[in-house]
Amino acid sequence: MSFSDFELNTAKFLSRSISSTELDALQKAMENEVNHNVFKSFTEIEFVTRHLMSKYDKEAAKKNLIKKIKSDKREVKVLFIKRLFNYAAIILLGLGLGYFYWNHNFANSIKIKPQNLEDEITLTLSDGSVKTISEANEASVYDQKGDRVGLQQGNQLVYKKGNTAEELIYNTLTVPYGKKFALVLSDGTKVHLNSGSSIKYPVEFKNNHERKIHLIGEGYFDVAKNESPFVITANHLNVRVLGTQFNLSAYPEDETVRTVLVEGSVGFFEEREKFTSESPVLDPGYMAIWERNIKKMEFKEVNTELYTDWMNGRIIFSHMPFEDILKKLERIYNVEITNSYEQLNQVKFNASFDTETINQVFEAFNKNYPLKFTIDGRKIEITQP
C-alpha cells in the first residue's frame, strides 16, 4: 500500500516529527476541504486514543511483555514478524476504539456550529475562495500556480517584494468589528486596517504602472516611494500619492471621506475623473473632508494624533456628536448599540480611552450626561433615565 504526501505529512505532524517544509506542504494541502476534514478526523481520533491509553497500566504491560520475550527467545525470528503484525493490529484496534469512543460519546453530544465569518479576519483570493486568518498563527499565501507570494505572521500579512506582474491578480483582506490588522504590499507599502474595514489590492504590482487599490473603512497608509503613482479609491473618491503617510477614513455609512496627512502630500480627484494640476492637494497637519453627496471638499488644520492614535489602541473623541461616537464604539468593541435617547445624538463629547471595557466607557459618559444603558452580550440599549 502506498501513501500520499498528505497522509505521510499528517502522520509526521501527529508524531511531532514534521519539518517546516513538510508543514508548509501540509498546510497547503488542507486548503482542499476533503483533506481538511480528513486531517480533523485524524486529530480527533489521536486525541481520544491518547486519552484512553493514558489510563492504561504501562508498567504492568511492560513487565508482561519482557517476560513473554524471554520465554520465547528461541523462536524470536519466527515470532518477530507475527508480533509486528499483532502490534499493528493492536494500534489499529486502539484507533478504532478511540474513534468509536469519540463518535458515540462526543460527536453525538456536540453540534459543530458553522463558522461565523463576520467575526473572523478573512482573505478572499482571486478565484473567490475565502481563507480565515488566525492572529495566533503563521500561514503562507499562494498564487494560482502554487507559488508562495505572502506570509502571515500574527496580526500582519506581508507580500513578497516585486513589481513585475504581467497581469494584475487581486486579493481582498477583510477585518471585522473589534479587530485590527496590518498589511505590507509587494511594493513595500504598509497599511494598518482599522475595525470593520476591507482592502482590495494586487498580489503584485506592474512595473511602471499606476499602483491602485480599493478601500472600504479606515486605514493608515505608509506608502513606499516610487515613480509610479499610488491611488486609493474610497467611496468614489481617488486619493493620489507618490510616497507619504496619512490616515484615510471612508466607511460606507459615513457621509464624508476624511483624509489626515502626517507627512508628504496627497491629491484628490473623483473616481471617474483624471488627476490634473488643478486637483486639490493636502498639506501635512491638515485634514480634507469630502462630502460625497454634494461633492464638496473642505480643508482644516488638525492635531494628527487625534486621528492616528487608534493604531496604538487609543480611542479619542474630539467635539464628536454622540451618534457618531456610537458608530465608532460599535466597530471598535464589535457590539450593536440601540439608542432611544434621541436628545443625546447631537451632543458633542471630548473623551479618551485605551484599556477600558465597553461598560466602563458608558459609565464615563454617564458621569457627564446622565443616561441609562443595559448590556446583554453584544447588544447595548441606551434609554433616557
Q: Are 349 and 326 in contact (CB under 8 A)?
A: no
Q: Which residues pair with 238 in a beta bridge?
A: 233, 269
**Residues of the chain below pLDDT 50:** 1-2, 48, 51, 54-55, 72-115
Following CA atoms 336, 195, 257, 288 in sequence, which dihedral angle do they give, to the nearest 10 degrees? 130
Cell 473603512 maps to which residue? 217
Q: According to the model, what pLDDT value does residue 45 have?
A: 64
Q: Are 201 and 170 in contact (CB under 8 A)?
A: yes
Question: Which grid cell is 196?
Answer: 470593520
Q: According to the model, what pLDDT value does residue 20 have?
A: 60
**CA nearest 39: which of 10, 3, 15?**
10
Per-residue pLDDT of 45-92, as tens digits, reads 655 455 455 445 555 655 665 565 555 444 444 444 444 444 444 444
Alpha-carbon span 161 to 143, nearest angstrom: 14
Give 385's contacts (C-beta < 8 A, 6+ positions apart): 370, 371, 372
Residue at 383: amino acid letter: T
Question: Which grid cell is 112?
Answer: 459543530
Show the DSSP H helices in 119-206 as ranges. none
Question: Which grid cell is 266?
Answer: 496627497
Cell 503484525 maps to which residue? 85
Alpha-carbon span 264 to 221, nearest angstrom: 12
Alpha-carbon span 317 to 298, nearest angstrom: 20
Q: According to the model, what pLDDT value does residue 81 have?
A: 40
Q: According to the model, what pLDDT value does residue 68 have?
A: 53
**CA nearest 284: which of 226, 241, 343?**
241
Q: How many angstroms separate the first and last alpha carbons of the chain? A: 74
Per-residue pLDDT of 249-272, as tens digits, reads 999 999 999 999 999 999 999 988
Q: According to the model, what pLDDT value does residue 44 have?
A: 59
Question: Which grid cell is 384?
Answer: 433616557
Q: How many Cβ atoms are within 10 Å of 239's Cβ, its own excluded?
A: 23
- Rg, C-alpha atoms of the chain: 29
Cell 519466527 maps to which residue? 78
**CA nearest 171: which of 206, 203, 194?**
203
pTM of the model: 0.69
Q: According to the model, what pLDDT value does residue 110 have?
A: 29
Q: According to the model, what pLDDT value does residue 15 have?
A: 67
Count of all residues that appear for the chain in the document: 385
Show the DSSP H helices in the chain as ranges. 5-14, 20-29, 33-53, 58-71, 76-102, 305-308, 322-333, 358-368
Alpha-carbon span 139 to 305, nearest angstrom: 33
Give 262's contacts (C-beta < 8 A, 6+ positions apart): 244, 245, 246, 247, 284, 304, 308
Cell 513473554 maps to which residue? 68
> What DSSP assignment string belongs to 5-70?
HHHHHHHHHHTT---HHHHHHHHHHTTSHHHHHHHHHHHHHHHHHHHHHTTS-HHHHHHHHHHHHH
